Amino acid sequence: MSDTNRFETETKDAAAEGGPPVEPQASDSATGGNDIGGEAAQTAAATTPDAPAEAGDTAVQDERLTALSAEIAALKDKHLRALAETENVRRRAAREKTDAGKYAITGFARDLLAVADNMQRALGSVDPEARRADPALEALVAGVEMTEKALLAAFERQGISPIEAEGAPFDPHVHEAMFEVPNEGIPHGTVVQVVERGYMIHDRPLRPARVGVSRGGPKRAQAEPSTDSDATATNPSAAYEQATASGEGAGSNIDKEL
């Protein structure tokens, strides 16, 4: 029996019995269909992804990741720079400590050079014949010689040594040209006379040797250098010629890097 016929039959029976009219009710199939449709709609609403919201979250995360990566790179760069600076400071401090130990007495040693010069002049002024003829003078000169030897030994213990200049090629780093000596029989730029002895302290010039340099002789045979600076370093004649050409001739201090 259909729902409509059954409703009409119930209505007639209720009227015959004098009861209240029967209210129409929705069929089970209709009610069940509505419930299923609502639940399906809720499930679909719950399971359907919110595409715009997730896209926005991904963009924010990517932006944050990029910012963090840039910050990490900046911190790493600062860390490496700090390490490099610390290493440079350590090396500089070690070098300064070494130099302080080696060259701390430079000023004092330079003052003592005048004492060595005076002793050398005193010994050079004594006539050998007069020395042999006078025992007192011999004793005095022997005492001066012993004092000079003790002073040179003290210099040597402190890393101070005389510069052997006579007969050597002119070196602008350790020699100071005071005058020129024309001599065609000696190679050009050779030290022929030492006016004042020079000294080195370890690997640095303490005082350049003041010398006389030959001029006019044959040039020393040297390999062809590639640059002017190499020519100055390997050819003493080139160094001396460069100094005289620039106006720093005899009697001028050319103890510098040319």
| Structural domain includes residue 44 | no
The CATH number given to whatever domain includes residue 208 is 2.30.22.10
Domain that holds residue 205: 175-245
**Residue 180 in contact with residue 149, Cβ under 8 Å?**
no
Task: Return the minimum-mean-pLDDT range out of 9-13, 29-33, 195-199.
Answer: 29-33
User: Does a structural domain hold residue 190?
Assistant: yes
pTM for this entry: 0.56
**pLDDT > 90: percent of the chain:** 42
Q: Give the tens place of pLDDT for each residue, 124-135.
A: 899 989 989 999
Is 202 within the bounds of a domain? yes
End position of a domain, from candidates 94, 129, 158: 158
Q: Is residue 148 part of a domain?
A: yes
Question: For residue 42, is it within any domain?
Answer: no
The answer to whether residue 35 is domain-embedded is no
Range ranked top by mean pLDDT from 85-94, 218-227, 230-239, 249-258: 85-94
Please check whether residues 87 and 112 belong to one and the same domain: no
Asked if residue 188 and residue 140 are part of one domain, the reply reads: no
Q: Can you say how many angstroms the Cα of residue 53 is from the centroid of all Cα atoms in its chain?
A: 53
Whether residues 190 and 236 share a domain: the answer is: yes
Task: Evaluate whether 142 touches 217 at the Cβ level (below 8 Å).
Answer: no
Domain closes at, from 66, 82, 103: 103
Residue 183 belongs to some domain of the structure: yes
- 235 and 194 assigned to the same domain: yes
Quick one: pLDDT at residue 23?
Answer: 52
Residues 186 and 233 occupy one common structural domain: yes
The number of distinct structural domains making up the chain is 3
Q: Is residue 90 part of a domain?
A: yes
Burial (Cβ within 10 Å: 0-12, 13-18, ≥19) of residue 237: buried
Residues 86 and 133 in one domain: no
CA distances from 159 to 96, 103, 155, 176 (A): 18, 9, 6, 22
For 194, phi then psi, to 5°, come to -110, 115
Q: Are residues 117 and 88 in the same domain?
A: no
Domain match, 206 and 239 both = yes
Q: Which tokens hold the place of 138?
A: 């011999």
Residue 9 has pLDDT above 70, yes or no: no
Q: How far is residue 200's CA from residue 167's CA, in Å, rounded to a whole number?
A: 18
User: In 3D, which of 158, 206, 216 has the Cα closest to residue 182?
Assistant: 216
- Residues 118 and 75 both lie in one domain: no
Q: What confidence score (pLDDT) does residue 50 get?
A: 52
